[in-house]
Structure 1
Amino acid sequence: MNLETAKSFILTVLVGISLLLTLGLWNYQPNDTLLNDQEEVDMDIGGSEVTQQEIVEPESIIFHQFNKHYGFTDPSKRQSLYQDMQKWVLYNMEIMNANGAPANDYQVEVTFPDALPMGIITKIFKLNDDNTYLPDWSFNRMFITFIPDSKALRLQFLSENGQKKAVANVNDSKKYNLLWSYLTEHEDLEEYIAWDESETPIYIPSGSRELTQRSFTVSTINIDKLVNALFNKPSIVSRANKGEPYFSDSQSGMRLLQDGKLMKFDSPISSNYERMNQLDVLNYSIKNINEHKGWTGISNVQEGWRSEYNLEKLDLASNRLLYRMFYNGYAVYNGSALSTIEQEWHNLSLSQYQRPMFSLNSTLGGETLELQSGQSVIAFLQNNPKYNLDQISDIKIGYDLTVQESTSIKYYVRLEPAWFVNESGSWKELDFGDEIPLNKGGS
């Protein structure tokens, strides 16, 4: 083999090696995808995501006409009006001194279930100026009064102690006419009466109300998805099945209670506990539950009902939040925490989380009941020594949730309409003794 032949052979070999290397690079796929697939975990428990604007709703909208009071017959009408209010543009907000609630003959009172920081207004309403100054006090009532000359509305957010107010105008004659028609024509409204035994008046329907008692099948939540959502390293979480199932990673723990119907998660609390800003607590909580689609409300259009969760309590002292289940606009109560989602936050970290492990699925039918009138409720409370009138802070119609065992399915739940009273900070069903609601027939 002469020198030129050897050179050609070596060149051919080198070109072949180069082609093989190039082909190998083209076909090489790093193992990052597999690693990412291993790290991605399924934490979607089947609910939805919400915003602050959706989760914060008033518990009542009352129309005051001189010494008469009116409220919606159907809570869904109240929700629709409030959703419309959230689209109104608030102009020229000013902070002023106040001397309690306004005394206008015609006004609308919007009451929220707990005190809210003024900073939340930018999240649940629209301001014409994004740089509007908002004070650091809280409110739970908003009053709307009328300016006839300009057909404008004046909104007043009253501080908890009644000594300050934030005032803004809504310069929209259509919205003025909308509220004025409610006040003067009372369409979709019924008369309410005032319970004056509390620090601020409580307004309840004067007459009786017919509501449907219903039973529902349920959809249960996959516990493994909550393990993925709540533990930093789900792969090292161990499960103990002795007694109630318990999950732990040696730092945090999660327990299933009430035969798997309730979940309680606990994480260690840092020793340097600091009180968090209310808006931060709410933001972190909503984001956390959104991450695992934890808002397990259902809108069943075919059957004509819906369930949802709304904010009921925002406790600044403990950084604790409580969201309550609502059914067709009515609050749902259960003595074993099966109708609430609760969280507690410490130092920007989730400390406690408790929630039901089911959502309503489809109805099994029901029957219509006629509840006692508001007049009867007030007379009953005033003449019953069982109740401490000074400690009653709220009265309302809602639903009592009970779990029913079944031979054909694991269990189902029943929602039964009733009157409820908040006494000493705790909700309880009014006990009328032998008097029961009138059965109006099945549906």
Structure 2
Amino acid sequence: MKLETAKSLLLIILIGTSLILTFGMWNYRAEYEPLNDDESIDKADLGGEQKNANDVVKPNNVVFKINGEFYSYEDPEDSAELFEDIQTWEMTDLQNTDVEEKTADAEVEIIFPTGVPLSLFESILNTDRTLTNNMNFYVDRFYIQLQEEDQLLKVYFVSLDGDEVVEGTIHSTTNYEQLLSMFSNLKGEKYQENHLLTETARNIYIPDGEKTMQSFKYTFNMTRTADVRNIMFARPNLVSESKSAESIMYRTDDRQLNITGGGMKFINVAEWNKEPADKSVFQQSLENINEHAGFTDDYRLDSYTDDSITYRLYRLQYPVINNSYMDLSTIYQRWQSDQLSEYTRSLISLDTVANTSSIKLRDSDEIISSIQQNKNVADIQDVQIGYRLTVEKDVNGEDYALLEPDWYQRVNDSWSVVPEKNTGTQNVEGGS
């Protein structure tokens, strides 16, 4: 072969290779495509709905108390509907009153999962003025008493420490008669009698008898990791990335985001403003999560402190509990003044029901006996039926979410299955 012919052939090969590589670069799209413009970053969200205080601050129990007996609805959907009605009732004449035990023949006790500042109820109830300016006035329930003589309803908010009471009045005869009608039908099939536990950290009501419930197999959607990165970092093109078989880590000098096991954990160690924030942790978290459409399911306020907040997933009005490394049933945030310092949450959202089956739960007598034999009974904050969430694989290797009902107890803001009676051991499964 002549030298000139060889040179021409080599040149053709080099040009062809260059064209192939150029075409490949044009058509390649990385899974984590860097974003360089603010407009694209602003569009990143988790696909959830905008929520307000009414959507996330809800009671987990409504109890009717009459002549020393206690009742609740058989179906928690009915309790939810009643509370929605109560939220529209006009509450007036709000004032501080003397600290003393409030008793009545007929009373409704509306119980929330956690104590919150009394002022928060301004956002979820129909009040005629500010409830209180005392940020240390926390309540986890309020009471509505029927005043037969005046045909009206009295409302009482009692602080967690029992040192303060705020009362209000609902003057509507219609609202009074609505509650009175419910008390007249407590022996009906819509209601169930309850047993009161007083030796626990707070009064707890356990429905009598046994219950059969459905377990559910759900398909679910997973949030794109690129979307999470773009939300948590203002300039994602400057973020370093490291991968392993099961997780992805994003870093800058002062921020770190770990995505693994269907959840995420974000930490911000930047210097923060030492001045007190203008807004409460609840307001800050609600606005922040709404900014990226982070309420991807029915999440409700579950715990509250001066600098942290947790929202829990609910399904069919029951709390969902998960015990994996990344808790797939909660959204947790910690704030330093006006800056988000920690954010942990599930990145899965339940989709459609693929299968169901029936499960017979332990009866109330067994649950009560198990709780009472617990040496730490005084530390139990709540007892609820909840759904255990686990992620499993089907025969085809496809992931699905399994929700199975069971009795749960809450100690130190952590949920665990109520142990079997007389086992002598505690089931440590749970979630914060």
- 1-side partners of 2:417 and 2:132: how far apart? 42
Q: Is residue 41–residue 231 contact of structure 2 (8 Å, CA) maintained in 1?
A: no
Is 2:387 aligned against 1:388? Answer: no
Residue 210 of structure 1 corresponds to 212
Residue 15 of structure 1 corresponds to none
1:374 to 357, 364, 370: 364
Which residues of structure 2 form unaligned runs of 5+? 1-35, 424-432
Q: CA deviation at 1:432?
A: 2.3
Q: CA deviation at 1:40?
A: 4.8
Q: Is residue 388–residue 406 contact of structure 2 (8 Å, CA) maintained in 1?
A: yes
Is 2:89 aligned against 1:91? Answer: no
1:234-281 per-position Cα deviation (integer Å, ceiling 9, x unaligned): 2212211145210123321100122xx11011111536656657x621
- 2-side partners of 1:184 and 1:354: how far apart? 46
Q: What is the SS of the residue equivalent to 1:182? A: helix
- 2-side partners of 1:179 and 1:367: how far apart? 36
TM-score w.r.t. length of structure 2: 0.83
Q: CA deviation at 1:46?
A: 1.4
Q: CA deviation at 1:106?
A: 1.0
Q: Is residue 109–residue 144 contact of structure 1 (8 Å, CA) maintained in 2?
A: yes
- 1-side partners of 2:228 and 2:267: how far apart? 13
- 2-side partners of 1:139 and 1:294: how far apart? 27
Q: CA deviation at 1:395?
A: 1.1
2:390 maps to amino acid? T
1:330 to 318, 331, 348: 318
Q: Is residue 217–residue 412 contact of structure 1 (8 Å, CA) maintained in 2?
A: yes
Residue 413 of structure 1 corresponds to 401
Q: What is the SS of the residue equivalent to 1:365? A: strand
- 2-side partners of 1:210 and 1:365: how far apart? 17
TM alignment of 1:424-435, pairs within 5 A: 424-432=412-420
Q: What is the SS of the residue equivalent to 1:185? A: coil
Residue 361 of structure 1 corresponds to 351
- Cα gap change, 1:424/1:45 in structure 2, threshold over 3 Å: closer, same or farther? closer
Q: Is residue 256–residue 264 contact of structure 1 (8 Å, CA) maintained in 2?
A: yes
- 2-side partners of 1:215 and 1:151: how far apart? 49
Is 2:165 aligned against 1:177? Answer: no
Q: What is the SS of the residue equivalent to 2:362? A: coil
TM-score w.r.t. length of structure 1: 0.81
- Cα gap change, 1:292/1:105 in structure 2, threshold over 3 Å: closer, same or farther? same
Q: CA deviation at 1:132?
A: 6.0
Q: CA deviation at 1:211?
A: 0.8
1:20-62 per-position Cα deviation (integer Å, ceiling 9, x unaligned): xxxxxxxxxxxxxxx9775554222111110012110112111
- 1-side partners of 2:422 and 2:392: how far apart? 23
1:414 maps to amino acid? L
Q: CA deviation at 1:430?
A: 2.0
- 2-side partners of 1:357 and 1:98: how far apart? 45
2:192 maps to amino acid? E
- 2-side partners of 1:321 and 1:39: how far apart? 29
Q: What is the SS of the residue equivalent to 2:59? A: coil
2:47 maps to amino acid? G
Which residues of structure 1 form unaligned runs of 5+? 1-34, 298-307, 436-443
- 2-side partners of 1:242 and 1:231: how far apart? 21
Q: What is the SS of the residue equivalent to 2:48? A: coil
Q: Is residue 194–residue 203 contact of structure 1 (8 Å, CA) maintained in 2?
A: yes
Is 2:196 aligned against 1:194? Answer: yes
1:94-146 per-position Cα deviation (integer Å, ceiling 9, x unaligned): 1112124x2212111111111111211221111224x6654331211201111
Is 2:49 aligned against 1:48? Answer: yes
Q: What is the SS of the residue equivalent to 1:197? A: coil
- 2-side partners of 1:256 and 1:144: how far apart? 45
- Paired residues, number: 382
Q: CA deviation at 1:150?
A: 3.1
1:257 to 230, 250, 260: 260
Q: Is residue 99–residue 163 contact of structure 1 (8 Å, CA) maintained in 2?
A: no
- 2-side partners of 1:274 and 1:378: how far apart? 47
Q: What is the SS of the residue equivalent to 1:352? A: strand
2:122 maps to amino acid? T
Q: CA deviation at 1:323?
A: 0.5
- 2-side partners of 1:284 and 1:343: how far apart? 10
1:52-79 per-position Cα deviation (integer Å, ceiling 9, x unaligned): 1211011211100111100111111111
Q: What is the SS of the residue equivalent to 1:57? A: coil
Residue 12 of structure 2 corresponds to none
- Cα gap change, 1:238/1:42 in structure 2, threshold over 3 Å: closer, same or farther? farther
Q: What is the SS of the residue equivalent to 2:202? A: coil
Q: CA deviation at 1:195?
A: 1.4
- 2-side partners of 1:224 and 1:276: how far apart? 31
Is 2:157 aligned against 1:157? Answer: yes
Residue 122 of structure 2 corresponds to 122
Q: What is the SS of the residue equivalent to 2:45? A: coil
1:179-221 per-position Cα deviation (integer Å, ceiling 9, x unaligned): 1122221252210111121143210111111110111011111
Q: Is residue 97–residue 163 contact of structure 1 (8 Å, CA) maintained in 2?
A: no
- 1-side partners of 2:125 and 2:39: how far apart? 42
Residue 61 of structure 1 corresponds to 62
- Cα gap change, 1:423/1:119 in structure 2, threshold over 3 Å: closer, same or farther? closer
1:302-354 per-position Cα deviation (integer Å, ceiling 9, x unaligned): xxxxxx110011112xx111100111000111112111110001120111101
- 1-side partners of 2:276 and 2:195: how far apart? 39
- 1-side partners of 2:230 and 2:343: how far apart? 14
Q: What is the SS of the residue equivalent to 2:227? A: helix
1:126-177 per-position Cα deviation (integer Å, ceiling 9, x unaligned): 1224x66543312112011112233211111111111211111111112111
Residue 232 of structure 2 corresponds to 230
Residue 108 of structure 2 corresponds to 108
- 1-side partners of 2:184 and 2:115: how far apart? 30
Q: Is residue 87–residue 125 contact of structure 2 (8 Å, CA) maintained in 1?
A: yes
Q: CA deviation at 1:381?
A: 3.0
1:323 maps to amino acid? Y
Tell which deviates more after alignment, 144-153 or 413-422: 144-153
- Cα gap change, 1:323/1:180 in structure 2, threshold over 3 Å: closer, same or farther? same
Residue 25 of structure 1 corresponds to none
- 2-side partners of 1:359 and 1:410: how far apart? 16
- 1-side partners of 2:73 and 2:218: how far apart? 26
Q: Is residue 370–residue 422 contact of structure 2 (8 Å, CA) maintained in 1?
A: no
Q: Is residue 119–residue 131 contact of structure 2 (8 Å, CA) maintained in 1?
A: no
